[in-house]
Amino acid sequence: EIVLTQSPATLSLSPGERATLSCGASQSVSSSYLAWYQQKPGLAPRLLIYDASSRATGIPDRFSGSGSGTDFTLTISRLEPEDFAVYYCQQYGSSLVTFGQGTKVEIK
């Protein structure tokens, strides 16, 4: 099983600031099959990024993903009020899909 470790657990930032979220894998993620999701309270997760760096349909270009192998990053270039939420990374390169434990982006 590939274990995904997200850091930091909580990120306190102001609107307009840049957010950088990290996701580390215990072993290399095959073909960069890594996704990022956003989840707000009481709602289902929403796909933001797939294949490490491709934006999903309808996702604003302030969201970007990068990385390969065991180190991946989600960057939000300028935080909008609606971006404060919990973010999860997920790998789907093995037959045991796994999620990271999440990073909460909160208003400072």
User: Rounded to the nearest whole angstrom, what is the least distance from the CB of residue 59 to another protein in the complex?
Assistant: 11
> At its nearest, how many Å lie between another protein and the CB of residue 30?
9
* Residue whose CB is less far from another protein, 97 or 107: 97
- Which CB sits closer to another protein, 17 or 56? 56
Under rule CB under 8 A, residue 93 binds another protein: yes
Task: Output b/e per residue, 71-89; b: 16+ Cβ within 10 A.
Answer: ebbbebeebeeebbbbbbb
Q: Is 44 in the site for another protein (CB under 8 A)?
A: yes
- Token pair of 30, please? 């095959």
CA–CA separation, 15 vs 23, rounded Å? 23
Binding site for another protein (CB under 8 A): 1, 33, 35, 37, 39, 44-47, 50-51, 56-57, 88, 90, 92-102
